[in-house]
Structure formats: C-alpha cells, structure tokens
Structure 1
Amino acid sequence: MVREICRDEVFLAQKAEAATEADLSVAEDLLETLIAHKDGCVGVAANMIGVNKRIIAFVDDGEYRMMFNPAIVKKSGPYDAEEGGLSLTGTRKVNRWKSIKVRYQNRAFQERFKIFTGWPAQIIQHEIDHCEGMII
C-alpha cells in the first residue's frame, strides 16, 4: 500500500527501532511508496511513512533494493553535497562519503555486508540518517 509521506519533524527526529520479521508488511508498503514517488525520489526510510522502524528502500543502478537494520561499518572519501527529500522543503548541505561498507539484513533477516560507492552510497547515507533521527 502506498502510504502518505510524514512531514512531522518531531516524529522524524526520533531514532528508529530495530526492524523484525513482523515488519515485512511495512517494508512492502515502503517499497510501494518509493515506486509511487519514483519521479522525484530515489530512497525512503520507514519513518517517512510514519513507522519508526529501521528499514530503508532505495534505487541502486535502476533496481529497487531494501535493507533491514542497516548500519555503516566503514567509510572513506569525505565530500560535501546538497540534498533534499520528500519529507522536507528545499535542500540542505550535508557531508557524505564516496565509499561505504554497510551491514544490513535482507528480507530473510540474514546478515549481509556490501560496499557501495557514488550515488547509491549517497542515497543509503541519506536514508540511514533518517533511521538515526537526523533531519538533513
């Protein structure tokens, strides 16, 4: 189900709780919401649809991907960027990393590690910030 985008800054500023297998339906809603906003959006976190869980969905080289409980475990190549988002008006300056290694769980809740670079890495960092309650 496509959900409404949450713009409540008090809610968005909360740190997300760990996702569990009971949250698989939330993840499906998150993915459907991302696809519905594909013209102006490349990633969403569960708190953006009003659910305070550590789940993100994003576009990676044209494919939709989902991560449960993502965390950056290694990073390199700092740079400055400017980003916007569905839950905010306008853009803001942020610091990002060119390369990140992410620990996450897949849909079967198996732990995985993957290195991302460039644009996908920036998207993931933005969505993990949402999980941490950071509003860019």
Structure 2
Amino acid sequence: MELTDKTYKPSIAQVGQPVLHQKAKVVEDILAEDCQQLIKQMMSTVEQAGGVGIAAPQVFQSLRVFIMCSKPNARYPNAPYMEPTAIINPEIMHMSTAVEKDWEGCLSVPSMRGLVPRHKTIKVRYLDQQANEHEVEFTDFVARIFQHELDHLDGLTFIDRLESTQDLVSESYWYQRYAAKG
C-alpha cells in the first residue's frame, strides 16, 4: 500500500476539498507499516477532535479505512460506548427496511448538523487492524456511524444525504433547540 500523501498532516479535510468527493481505494496491505501508522494517527485525530468516527479521506488519504469510536462526549452526549475500532475495506451486506432520520454532525462539515435518513440496522463485513475478517450487525447510533463513515469512502458527506436543505441547521441552533431535549 502506498499512501497518497507521505507528509501526513493531522488536520481534517473540510467540505469542498476534492479528497472528500473521491471514491477511496481498497487497502491492499493492512499490515504494512504505513497503513498501521495511518490507523494510529486517525485514532489520535478523532480523539482530539471529539468525534465518534473518522474516515481516511478526512485526513487526506483516499483509502477505504475508517475508525468507529462511539462514546459520550460534548458533541454526542448520549452516544453508547464502544472500543475504538479500525474498519478496513468495509461493505454493507444487508440493510433493514426501517429507516430513521436523526441528527448528524461531521468533523469535515464544522458548525453544522443535518437531519439524515439512515437504515436502523445493517449487517456488515470488514477487516480489522490485524487483517481479520468480521461480519457484524450494527443498530441505531452505531449503525449510523458506520453508514456515515462509509459514505466518506464513497465520496459523500452527510449533506449529500439530506432530503431537504431545511434539514440543515447551525450547530449552535441545534444545541439550543435539540440537544437540550436529550
């Protein structure tokens, strides 16, 4: 595997930057040192940014890798706790017919929240940091994180999933209007 930018910068790509609109490449050698280093740096970046997930394109690497790390924090006070997990070359095998609209934010779309429809339950397949294959079913908020991060690998942000521009609000308004309700 060869990283697209050898000079890794811990900054996060912002909406409009071309890397966020590209379909990411499959990771060929998960155990390669540069891939392992990318995963480590992504885990650090998402922790510092207070996110619940981050995808490689958000750190300027067009590769099919993302981190899921749900836990309660200032941005998502009701998030369930899960161990930080590297998700590599993911695919959705099955999606429930049940879809739910809920609020999402994104480290690449600062200061905004959107009401995004997502499947409530998904069955997925992916490789972990040690190149082991997993088939897992995710529900609710964790399923939402997976779908959100997978969109980044396909060149989409949550803005592309909005049904209406009226479903997009500033984060400060969201906190005042919706976060206070829990």
TM over 0.5: yes
Cα RMSD, aligned residues only? 1.7
- Look up the match of 1:96: 118
| Offset from partner CA, 1:11-59 (integer Å, 9 cap, x none) | 1000110123231211111111111122xx1110011111111111112
- Look up the match of 1:6: 13
In structure 2, the gaps of 5 or more residues are 1-7, 71-80, 159-182
Work out which of the residue numbers 98, 103, 110 in structure 1 matches 2:132: 110
- Tell which deviates more after alignment, 79-88 or 9-18: 79-88
- 1:31 paired to 2:39: no
- Whether the 8 Å CA contact 2:148–2:157 is kept in 1: the answer is no
**Mapped partners of 1:84, 1:66: distance in 2:** 20
Structure-2 change in CA distance of 1:86 and 1:105 (3 Å): same
Flag the structure with higher strand content.
Answer: 1
Query: Which amino acid in 2 is paired with 1:135?
Result: T
**Mapped partners of 1:93, 1:119: distance in 2:** 13
- 1:15 paired to 2:35: no
What is the TM-score with the length of structure 2 in the denominator? 0.68
Work out which of the residue numbers 91, 94, 98 in structure 2 matches 1:74: 94
Aligned length in residues: 134
**Mapped partners of 1:75, 1:28: distance in 2:** 30
In structure 1, the gaps of 5 or more residues are none
- Tell which deviates more after alignment, 18-27 or 70-79: 18-27
Misfit runs of 4+, over 6 Å? none
SS at 1:18 equivalent: coil
Offset of 1:2 from its aligned partner? 7.5
SS at 1:63 equivalent: coil
**Mapped partners of 1:75, 1:16: distance in 2:** 22
- 1:45 paired to 2:51: no
